[in-house]
Chain A
Amino acid sequence: DSGVTQTPKHLITATGQRVTLRCSPRSGDLSVYWYQQSLDQGLQFLIQYYNGEERAKGNILERFSAQQFPDLHSELNLSSLELGDSALYFCASSVASVGLYNEQFFGPGTRLTVL
């Protein structure tokens, strides 16, 4: 158990819908990261928040947005869903924003299926 929690575990929805994925970081961690894992693309970085502020952005679609709240939990919002958005979405957390030993610990993931 990494200490990172994600809900829900599974999500099945239809094209065009909007969903929210939730992540709680390990106690004491200030950074939260979101990654998408699909069979053809592997693990891809989406976005990072540090202590409530956006710190780094990957190839995150405009239909996707995220935020980190004062209690440090984070939410990833996916809207106008398409079939191709079906994937595993992982949240990771770390103590700092950057650093040589800024190790990231991953949650169990949310499996999103868009029908």
Chain B
Amino acid sequence: TQLLEQSPQFLSIQEGENLTVYCNSSSVFSSLQWYRQEPGEGPVLLVTVVTGGEVKKLKRLTFQFGDARKDSSLHITAAQPGDTGLYLCAGPLIYNQGGKLIFGQGTELSVKP
């Protein structure tokens, strides 16, 4: 059973379209991180959200943490081919021992020119 469920798993869109990726759980997380990973490379941290209801913007990317800290979303406005990659949400459970991150299975995004 996946503790963090990401949807959709695959997304193929045209340049200029908007999209939203969801990350859901029945468990409470201390915080949520979003990473982007290119093939054969390590995940790159995009943002960390900590407070329930928090919204963070990074240029065309908007991240939101759910009020109950069980879910998060990533919205991309006017997607570009450079946004192509694997998007991963991850977080430490509230009752974690240590800094272990639980990862979602990822959303594979392809933006066609």
The digit string for A21-33, where 1 denotes a CB below 8 A from any CB of B, is 0000000000101
Q: Kindly count the residue-residue contacts between A and B in the assembled complex, taking CB atoms under 8 Å apart.
A: 76
User: In whole angstroms, how far apart are the Cα atoms of A23 and B45 in the complex?
Assistant: 18
Task: Identify A108's interface contact among B31, B41, B103, CB under 8 A.
Answer: B41
Instruction: State whether A103 touches B48 (Cβ < 8 A).
Output: yes
Residues of B in contact with A, size category: 20 to 34
The digit string for B61-97, where 1 denotes a CB below 8 A from any CB of A, is 0000000000000000000000000001010100011
- Main secondary structure on chain B at its contact with chain A? loop
- Main secondary structure on chain A at its contact with chain B? strand
B99 within 8 Å of A (CB atoms): yes
- CB proximity to A under 8 Å, residues B95-111: 96-106
Instruction: State whether A97 touches B100 (Cβ < 8 A).
Output: no
Task: Identify A103's interface contact among B45, B98, B105, CB under 8 A.
Answer: B45
Report the minimum CB–CB distance from A90 to chain B (whole Å). Answer: 6
Instruction: State whether A43 touches B88 (Cβ < 8 A).
Output: yes
Instruction: State whether A101 touches B50 (Cβ < 8 A).
Output: yes
Given A97-B99, A106-B45, 11 other A-B residues pairs in contact with their CB atoms under 8 A: A2-B42, A35-B101, A43-B88, A48-B99, A55-B97, A56-B96, A56-B99, A88-B40, A100-B30, A101-B31, A106-B43
Q: Which residues of A contact B (CB under 8 A)?
A: 2, 4, 31, 33, 35, 42-45, 48, 50, 55-56, 58, 88, 90, 92, 94, 96-109, 111
